[in-house]
Amino acid sequence: MTIALLGTGLLGSAIATRLLACGERLTVWNRNPERGQPLVALGAQWASSAAEAAAEAEWLITVLNDGPTTQAVLIDQVGAALQGRRVLQMGTIGPAESQQLADAVAGLGGAYLEAPVLGSRPEALEGRLQLMAGGPAELMEEALPLLRQLSQEPVHLGPVGTAMTTKLALNQLIASLTHAFSLSLHLVQQGGVAVEPFMALLRSSALYAPTFDKKLQRELSGDYGNPNFPTAHLRKDLDLFISAAQQAGLNSEGLSGLAALLQRSSAAGLDGLDYCALHQLTAGQTAAARPE
């Protein structure tokens, strides 16, 4: 296969590294050329524009920041070069945005499959992403040899929009579980309860989720560097979930406080840090007085 990948951020670069390790011919492009150089060193070809990257590719993978950016790159920059191309859109965007993008790609003669993933850099490098796809069943079949290099069991959920809906539902749980655990951890520490007895009780209960232990040491030490999924992306995805929920007629008022809390992450310097840095935001004014 000849593959072009647009967007070499944290996830995109890991996906590209995995594909190169699998022996695929890969061309990469990023708005910041420096972010593509490690992949060039691994054997990727560098394209000076998104259209140039797409020109010879059978498959075009996008892993870009958001819906508007993906629309601008695919439709405005690649444009007519989408003729005959098959697009795997792996960035997390809104279901309605994805449907609009699929229509625009089809209007330019291309085919579109949304393929967001659960997992981050470590899982991508090992081909263990949980990949969900939305789009035509026949296109899913064509994509399977490629998708199976990234995911052991890619799941086709239905038409365009279904995979993005599922991805947002899962990422809402990331935000809500992290927020809930952070508050509980702060409260028990403020109350003079040792962390390990609290965790032992939690682990043996139906309330436990593995993500609590996964983020515990980061939250205890305040070390949020080297993120696989930064706080800014969590905020963006939660906002997308709330928008999709409202469009579906659901009552998402319970998430408004968390969304407002995450809006403070930019001013607090947390946007580029691991998403569990929201633990700093939940600490409020009592953080300095917290018992060790």
DSSP secondary structure string, 254-270? Answer: GGHHHHHHHTTTTTTT-
- Amino acid identity at 132: M
SS3 63: coil
**Cα(279)–Cα(30) distance, rounded to whole angstroms?**
32
pLDDT of 98 reads 98
Phi, psi of 42 (to 5 degrees): -90, -5
Q: What percent of the chain has pLDDT over 90?
A: 96
**Cα(258)–Cα(109) distance, rounded to whole angstroms?**
41
CB atoms within 10 A of CB 153: 9
In the block, which residue shows the tokens 């965790």? 199
Looking at every residue in the chain, the average pLDDT score rounds to 96
Nearest to 76 by CA among 53, 99, 50, 46: 50
Contact 221, 271 (CB under 8 A): no
Pairing of strands 117-118, 130-134: antiparallel
For the segment 261-281, the average pLDDT, to the nearest whole number, is 97
For the segment 262-279, the average pLDDT, to the nearest whole number, is 97
**Cα(120)–Cα(126) distance, rounded to whole angstroms?**
10
pLDDT of 286 reads 57
CB atoms within 10 A of CB 291: 9
For the segment 5-29, the average pLDDT, to the nearest whole number, is 97
> Residues 43-73: pLDDT tens digits?
999 999 999 999 989 999 999 999 999 999 9
Q: Where are the alpha helices (DSSP H) in 191-287?
A: 195-203, 210-221, 231-247, 256-262, 278-282
> Residues 80-131: pLDDT tens digits?
999 999 999 999 999 999 999 999 999 999 999 999 999 999 999 999 999 9
pLDDT of 288 reads 41
Its pTM stands at 0.94
- Domains plus CATH for the chain? 2-158 (3.40.50.720), 164-289 (1.10.1040.10)
- Residue 240: how many CA atoms within 13 Å on its side-chain side? 29
> Residues 196-253: pLDDT tens digits?
999 999 999 999 999 999 999 999 999 999 999 999 999 999 999 999 999 999 999 9
